[in-house]
Chain A
Amino acid sequence: MAVKPLLSVPREVKAGVPFEVRILIQHPMETGFRRDAVGGVIARDIIHTFECSVDGEEVFAARLEPAIAAKPYLAFSARLERSGTMLLRWVDDHGVEAQERVDIRVV
């Protein structure tokens, strides 16, 4: 079952006033440093890229390493002058890409 992330983004914000975006993603962030029961290396599988933008304009991006904990959590801040659609997008080592969209209204 594809698991939705926990996502906290306000649907309405005030122009120019910073607001917080929080996301928690279901992903093992397998480090590639562990061995399984028979001694084989468990292949690395991490989300390496995370990006957040609104209508194509960048808010925040992160390049993650295996040192980011399982079920990766990110909290950052954004500031909008105009209403728009926030796109949150991430990609893991298997090339699996996921995204969430949130319409945000500036009032």
Chain B
Amino acid sequence: MSTSAWCRALVLLLAALPAAAQERRSGYDDAGPQVRAMQDDDMANPAFLWVQQGEVLWERRVGEAGKSCADCHGAVSEMRGVAARFPEFDAARGRVVTLEQRVNVCRTDFQGAPALAPESDALLGITALVGLQSRGMPVAVEVSGAAAEAVARGEAFFRLRQGQLNLSCAQCHDQLAGQSLAGSRIPQGHPNGYPIYRLEWQGMGSLHRRLRACLVGVRAEPLGRDDALLGDLELYLAARAAGLKVETPGVRP
């Protein structure tokens, strides 16, 4: 299908549909049986190759402090519940901090080691491992107090029509969610499985990488990794996904 065919299909779909509120549904539910089966079985889910790497890193002493994550935090199971309430508005920093960024704070400030590179196997592995500890728990981020403004900024971005296709996230993920487009269902766009193993990537990636794909998709400028607005958007997505179960590490087509 060409881009123009895509656009026509989208516009037709948008015109035909009332903007009905939908019940929250994970991207897992919109994926096909094969993808779901891969996520259901840890031995079949390639993301667990990264989780294994995360386990090694958790125990490894690094940096000037010569300390491992385990030296300070104990067993990784102590991280249960943490990923379910990330990202989090950090009052001291005056911005939203994602789990990736939080891990890197420990790397640089507490371990005296270089930050783990974005999308590196190491960072994906450690965040997948920490996320896994919250698997099955409901997503529950803090949205009140100082976080409220960040959530509002994230939501405004979500509703903003942008890019050459002049589409908002909301148009696809609120209005069109559940519709089939070119053979695959449009999901509601929830962050509850990240980092994920994506068949399209033939590898593992963060939520940022996924969002980048959507923004590039509508031919808008992707958000930079350190852009505070990216944190706002990720916080809004988590707030929007409240109550859905953490699936990390998920599998998506």
Contact = CB atoms under 8 A, between A and B. Distances in A.
Contacts of A8: 43
**Range, interface on chain A:** 10 to 19
Interface residues of B, number: 13
B128 to A, nearest CB: 13
A71 B43 contact: no
A41 B96 CA distance: 41
Contacts of B75: none
B213 interface: no
A73 interface: yes
A70 B203 CA distance: 8
Nearest to A29: B202
Interface in A31-45: none
A24 B46 contact: yes
Contacts of B44: 22, 24, 73
B56 interface: yes
Contacts of A28: 202
B14 interface: no
A38 B203 CA distance: 22
Majority-rule SS of A interface residues: loop
A1 B46 contact: no
Q: Most A CB atoms within 10 A — which of B44, B49, B53?
A: B49
A5 B202 CA distance: 16
Interface string B187-215: 00000000000000011000000000000
B80 to A, nearest CB: 22
A78 B48 CA distance: 24
A71 B56 contact: no
B52 interface: yes
Contacts of B42: 6
A69 interface: yes
Q: Most A CB atoms within 10 A — which of B46, B52, B53, B122?
A: B46
Contacts of B52: 3-4, 6
Nearest to B122: A1
Contacts of A69: 202
A26 interface: yes
A22 B121 contact: no
Nearest to A28: B202
A1 B49 contact: no
A37 B25 CA distance: 37
Given A6-B43, A69-B202, A73-B44, A24 B121 contact: no
7 contacts: A1-B53, A3-B52, A6-B42, A22-B44, A24-B44, A69-B202, A70-B203
Interface of A: 1, 3-6, 8, 22, 24, 26, 28, 69-71, 73
